[in-house]
Structure 1
Amino acid sequence: MKKIKIIIVTIFSLLFIPISVYAKTNQQVMQEENQTNAAKISERNGILLDVARCPLTKYEIEQVIAQMNPQRFSYLILHLNDDEHVTFQSKILGNVGAPNTLSAEDLQAITADARKHHIILIPDFDTPGHCKALLSLLSEHSPKLARKVKMDDDTLDYTNKQTIKLVEQINNELNKACSKQKYPYMMLGGDEVAGNGTHNESLMNYFNKLNAYENQKGFRSIIWNDSIMKHNNLSNKITVAYWAQGGANTASGLLRKYFSDRATVADLIHHPLINANEAHNYLNISDLSDPAFVADFIKQFNQDNPQNFNLINNQNWTNNPDSYQKEVATDGQLVCLWGGKNQGNNMEQLIQFIKELNIPLPSQSSQVSKVNSSSIESQSFSNSKIGSITG
């Protein structure tokens, strides 16, 4: 009888162990929630590193990833192509083994490391503008092709089918290097493209075709906003990173024109939108050496204004970075760290900056505090200064 009582007590004790014993840690819950919603990167925070104009090694990029708190950030964009430099070693472009570049194997390793830290690694190969270095490589290794795909000194001819084929081949090299992720993305570019007003339909077709190609490869696509006109044929599947309606322009005459021509946030409401507000979320890497400037930037970022977009003010014809767009379903911001030509970097300052950005928002802290409740397994969570170099 005594043995039976012991068995009964043991069974009951197993049945009524407090659920908190089996509860996941706060970090596990937040990381899993992060991964579940990572597909909607417009609702999460991210960081862009300009490794084209400020090259970093594989090891240095992994140091940055190690400091990215997955409770605060979901993705890291590597800006690999700009006028000054192509940082990705492409067989198509003939720059395999070039100095200050990342190989396909490097990107594979970085992607694996990012996945381990619950971060999505997004390659950003900007076309058809900002392609001066790319055209230089082509002129050296494939001069005939270079002549066919060139629109001007730093722009690929986006009306040419051969240009699309070339970019698809380059992007496919990147796809293979960065594919082993649950939610892979490719940033296609679209930044400051020459002639975008005159030939905008062709430009949007260019991105639609590249997006369709990426979708077939299992990737989603992102482009910058400033080359998208109000009336456009851009696929709604494409995510738009909105940095400024007026771009980097401040002249009132140009802003008047751009106000009439360029898409506002409301015009793009059917696209997933990333807030990359140039006035609040852009920082030159050289400014990391200015503690006061960095402190001001972090303070602004921590105010958490994901619905403040940079639109043109038609009252005084200036840029207004605080245009609140309550209709936009976004809780995320993209911090863009841009570099200049031949600009060095200070890893210690960069790492310290990433650490200081990691501080969870008050809303996130309150979410974490709820994790210890007894309903842990059914708990749901809501998604919760200016440089001269532009993206």
Structure 2
Amino acid sequence: MTHFLVEGKLTGQQLSYHPKMRERGVMLDMGRKFYSFRWIEQLIKQMARLRMNVLQLHFSENEGFRIESSTYPDIVSPDHLTKREVQDLIRLANAHYIEIIPELDSPGHLKRFLTVFPEWRLERSGAYDPYVDHRALDITQPDAKEAFKRLLLEYFDLFKDCRYFHLGADEFVDFDQLSAYPTLLAAAKEQYGAEATGIELYLDYVNDLIDYTLSHGFQPRVWNDGFYRKNQPELVELSKEATVTYWTRWNPSMASTAEFIQRGHKVINFNDNFFYFVLGEAAGYRYPTADKIRDNWAVNMFPEQQCLSEEQMTAVSGAYFAIWSDRPDALTETEVCEKMTGPLEAMNEKMWQIVRH
């Protein structure tokens, strides 16, 4: 970007940079892979140099739980951050004008938690992969829901100085095969009638957590893939209080970005076509490149070539680069840093504009 500064000197103009996006962020999947305190510290400093301002810590996953817990210590992975280390990272981030957003994902992505508490697993009939491996919370059980709220409460306290809290809510079940969850289906029909499919209880659960999060002073966020799906009845609607982090539309039944905006939600761009840095290139992804981002992405472009109008863009809060650790041993910490730096810089460049005075 220095060539713009040189141009300013040659023409005698004064140039200033202004962000096109209020939030310019990185999301780190530290649930599947342990990232050391020192590495995250360096990530924060790298973000500060790029004038990025939000770091989302996805600290729970099927494969691991990476922050100390006094509520349920048995769920914590051997390699994890202590609460003191997390507090130190928050202070460091704040010193560099970077906000931390914690993410504690539910009611899916809970295999680590449910290995300790198998009585709260949602059972699935048949052997359909990948949702048969006990990663979903049985949200028909009041005890299960209250247990997870107790866990949330612990991290509400740890992150009490943060403004936002991400509740996950993605990939709970196979939303196209809801009849394969007999407990969920029966409970939904009992409460909502014959038209119910089970998704109603999922929405009830998410809306309850949204209210719970708001009551503790946080602004809640959720992923997009489970809401307003075209192939599901709308007996319950997602709370408008949730900001939606829009990552994918790989399934045509998923609602468009425009649909969320029309329904009154703020949205954030996690475009998986450009910004999903998935370790080991799992799930069909390829590592993003600087050239691809510079040549093909614009700030109004969401997954699957969804391009928003100027008016729709007023509902967009920002864009994030997402480091997903699906194959944790595929890259070392050093290799992650080396490989992500180019595309991260390219993304950040596209989120600033130059103003001549």
TM-score (norm 2): 0.74
- Whole-angstrom CA distance in 2 between matches of 1:207 and 1:280: 28
Which among 164, 170, 182 is matched to residue 151 of structure 2?
170
Does the alignment pair 1:111 with 2:90?
yes
Cα pair 1:151 1:157 within 8 Å, conserved: yes
Cα pair 2:35 2:333 within 8 Å, conserved: no
Between 1:328-337 and 1:109-118, the stretch displaced more is: 328-337
Task: Structure 1 unaligned segments of length 5 or more: list them.
Answer: 1-25, 139-145, 248-254, 288-292, 311-320, 371-391
Q: CA deviation at 1:238?
A: 0.3
Cα pair 1:63 1:351 within 8 Å, conserved: no
Which among 257, 263, 269 is matched to residue 265 of structure 1?
257
Cα pair 2:277 2:340 within 8 Å, conserved: no
Aligned-residue sequence identity (percent) comes to 23
The 5-angstrom pairing of residues 245-264 of structure 1 reads 245-246=249-250, 255=252, 258=253, 262-264=254-256
Pair 158,363 (structure 1): closer, same or farther in 2 beyond 3 Å: closer
1:279 corresponds in structure 2 to 273
Question: Which secondary structure does the structure 2 equivalent of 1:101 belong to?
Answer: coil
TM-score (norm 1): 0.68
Specify the code of the residue in structure 2 equivalent to 1:151. Answer: L
Does the alignment pair 1:323 with 2:294?
no
Specify the code of the residue in structure 1 equivalent to 2:215. Answer: Q
1:384 corresponds in structure 2 to none
Pair 272,365 (structure 1): closer, same or farther in 2 beyond 3 Å: closer
Does the alignment pair 1:346 with 2:332?
yes
Give the 4+ runs in structure 1 shifted more than 4 A: none
Pair 129,97 (structure 1): closer, same or farther in 2 beyond 3 Å: closer
1:12 corresponds in structure 2 to none
Deviations 1:60-107 (A, max 9, x none): 111111100376422111111111111222222223874211222222
Deviations 1:147-192 (A, max 9, x none): 1x321311002233323322221122222222224xx211111111
Count of equivalent residues: 297
Q: Aligned Cα RMSD in Å?
A: 2.9
1:151 corresponds in structure 2 to 122
Pair 151,309 (structure 1): closer, same or farther in 2 beyond 3 Å: same
Question: Which secondary structure does the structure 2 equivalent of 1:187 belong to?
Answer: strand
Question: Which secondary structure does the structure 1 equivalent of 2:354 belong to?
Answer: helix
Task: Structure 2 unaligned segments of length 5 or more: list them.
Answer: 1-13, 124-133, 179-196
The 5-angstrom pairing of residues 362-381 of structure 1 reads 364=352, 366-367=354-355
Q: CA deviation at 1:229?
A: 2.4
Does the alignment pair 1:242 with 2:221?
no
Q: CA deviation at 1:301?
A: 3.2
Pair 309,176 (structure 1): closer, same or farther in 2 beyond 3 Å: same
- Whole-angstrom CA distance in 1 between matches of 2:39 and 2:238: 36
Larger Rg computed on CA atoms: 1
- Whole-angstrom CA distance in 2 between matches of 1:346 and 1:190: 29
Question: Which secondary structure does the structure 1 equivalent of 2:74 belong to?
Answer: coil
Between 1:343-352 and 1:265-274, the stretch displaced more is: 343-352
1:126 corresponds in structure 2 to 105
